[in-house]
Chain A
Amino acid sequence: MDTKQLLIACLIAIWGLTACSDKCEQTRVYRKYTPLQVKLTDLRQPVKSTAPRGLEEPGKIYVKDSYLFIIETKQGIHVIDNTDPANPRPLSFIPVPGTVDLAVRDNILYADSYIDLVALDISNPTTVREVSRIQTGFTSGLVGRTNWSYNPANDYISDSKEEVVTEVVKTDCESNLNIVPYPFAIPWFGWYYSYAAFDLSSASKSSIGQITPNTGTGGSTARFAAVGDNLYVVNQNSLQLINIADPAHPQRGAKAQLNWNVETIFPYRQKLFIGTNQGMYIYDISQPADPKLLSSYDHIRACDPVVVEGNYAYITLRGTNACRTGSSDLLEIVDISNLSSPKRVVSYPLENPYGLAINYPTLYVGRGGKGLQVIDVTDPVNPKIQRTYAEVNALDLIPLNKTLLVIGTDGLYQYAYSQSASLQLLSKISAKKPY
């Protein structure tokens, strides 16, 4: 054998060693929940606004005068000067850990911060400062798919951080499913053997530990409502009253227990409409410190924001698995001319509805990734879909005098509506997820 042949033989051997191995990898996209703990002393560091930053995971929106507040879920609040809706100008960012909701009275902004309610002076929106804080009395909560809870024993708040993670993992090309070592793969003769092996391997895997994913029920819109001297705050099962007669020094008031899983709160003409996943509560708040239950309206189990205009309440029901409930997606219109006995007018199938807004006679329904729908409800018995803006990711909406604010996972849209059915995009603030 001469050198040339030896060289070729070596090359073939090297090629054989490297080239003849199976290469398998799995690309997995999943939600990863990383537990995190927030120390109470860290949480209670005085809040100070910082320079504006980009939207990442926008949550609730709130409008006060020409200012626009966008919640950055559990991170803080974006303050935006919206004097010209075609050209919104970010002013500042207020870092408030654990915040999900806010409400404003005069120049005081109230935001939740896990177990606390923080009052912030926003008379100068570029330099917001904390004026006071009280405990809401809520010691646990649900935000999107993650739960948080307060442990008074060690003064920690346990929370978890959700991320969508893409990961590439080398796999073993599914060789681990065979029971016994044998020279050739047994499933030549059918799938039975691999199936049996499958059960074996999964049984041994499942015994290793806690495998329940840390997930919860679905998202919601407003849980804060400022009415006169009172701020109404709901969590899953209670309505907490906070007196804000002295705006800078909120006082905790009465608490009403609610039996259903509360999702949203909508104040309208001295009434509170509370959307829960089994129905709607109507509370009379003509005596603000003492809310009285007028009636409750049952519907199928589903996620349901509610808005009210005139004699009708509009409820969207989303029966997704995020709400772990029914399976129907509906728009319901309820006659509330007699508040003590609401009556369903119509139940209209509508896929994947989230938040909604009414600017009578037009109803706007955000349908998440499926767009924004404009519905004519002049005749409540027979709602008519007028237009769908499929490109908009719409989770929640606020109709102002001339502009419609739409917030979704990809940012904030502002539309002008001269004619009710056609919307004109004025501006968009894009949100960019950090992952």
Chain B
Amino acid sequence: MKLLPQIVVLLLLSLSGRAQPELSHWQTDITFGVQAGKVNTESSPNSYWAGGGDFIAPVYQPAYYYYYPVDATRNRYGLSIQVFEGYRLNHWLIPGITAGVDWYDNTQLFPVAIGVRGDLLKNERRIMPFYSLESGYGFRGFSYHGNQLHGGWSWSPGVGIRIKTGNKTAYIVSVGYKHQEAKLVSPTDGYTTLSLIETRRYNRLFFRMGFSF
């Protein structure tokens, strides 16, 4: 089988875009940055054990503990690393896929999405604004909760600028919005606690930097 190595080599060459820059339609964007948002916590939960009063099962523990939001309302920041691999149909339409890793405090997700990027202005220039739009699914990463955590749907619009440094290479700075859902199904004893399901909707602003080739 000679074909397979050839394909791999071709793919690698096309990814790097250096072998035949004028012919390559592939574009790779590697970015990293933060996703910022905040959480509004309630000042006190509805009810909990109070000397023989109501019983409330905890949010993150299978055993019987009090639940109260320890953390006050505050801003949240999480690291986000993303790779976009797109095919340049023309300068304003580059469909592709993104994959990466996002952290939301103690939750790690691996988002995989189908997206489209493209230039916003017509003429070739050194600093080119571009748009991005993607939607996909965030798969659960490694966390204390293991498979109790379930990933969820996400979508993310954004804009950025591409600062050209060469024929194909560029620096990227982008900002945008990201909506990511997740679900945590906590274990229950089936006796006192029957079901504990937390739905999470992360709404974040992202700021990313990186390079494109």
**Chain B proximity of A189: nearest CB distance (Å):** 10
Contact B79 A188 (CB under 8 A): yes
Among B39, B46, B56, B61, the residue within 8 A (CB) of A24 is B39
CB interface residues, B 93-145, toward A, < 8 Å: 103-108, 142-144
Decide: A176 and B177 in contact? CB cutoff 8 A. Answer: no
Q: Is there contact, CB below 8 Å, between B194 and A177?
A: no
Query: Cβ of A205 and Cβ of B204 under 8 Å apart?
Result: no
**Residue count of chain B within 8 Å CB distance of chain A:** 63
Q: Separation in Å of the B112 CB from the closest CB of chain A?
A: 19
A291 to B140, CA, bound (A): 65
The answer to the question of B171 belonging to the interface, with a C-beta cut-off of 8 Å to chain A, is no
CB distance A172 to B71 under 8 Å? yes
Return the CB mask of B61-85 against A: 1 if under 8 Å, else 0.
Answer: 1011111011100101111000000
Interface residues of A in 1-58 (CB under 8 A from B): 16, 19-35
Inter-chain contacts of B41 with A (CB < 8 A): 170-172
What B residues does A34 contact at CB under 8 A?
A: 54
Q: Contact: A171 with B191, CB < 8 Å?
A: no
Smallest CB separation, B103 vs chain A (Å):
5
Cβ contacts under 8 Å, B77 to chain A: 183-185
| A173/B104 contact (C-beta < 8 A), A24-B198, A211-B65 known | yes
Residues of A within 8 A of B200 (CB): 22-24, 173
| Beta-carbon contact of A21 and B203 below 8 Å | yes
- Contacting residue for A20 out of B50, B70, B106, B203, CB 8 A: B203
A174 at the interface (CB under 8 A from B): yes
Instruction: Name which of A99-107, A190-198, A364-372, A424-432 contacts chain B.
Output: A190-198
Seed contacts A30-B193, A32-B54; 7 additional CB < 8 Å A-B pairs: A23-B201, A31-B193, A171-B41, A171-B59, A172-B70, A194-B143, A195-B144
**Which 9 A-B residue pairings sit nearest by Cβ, starting from the closest?**
A176-B70, A29-B195, A26-B198, A172-B69, A29-B194, A172-B41, A205-B65, A176-B71, A175-B71
Q: B interface vs A, CB < 8 Å?
A: 34, 36-42, 45-46, 49-52, 54-61, 63-67, 69-71, 74, 76-79, 103-108, 142-144, 177, 184, 189-205
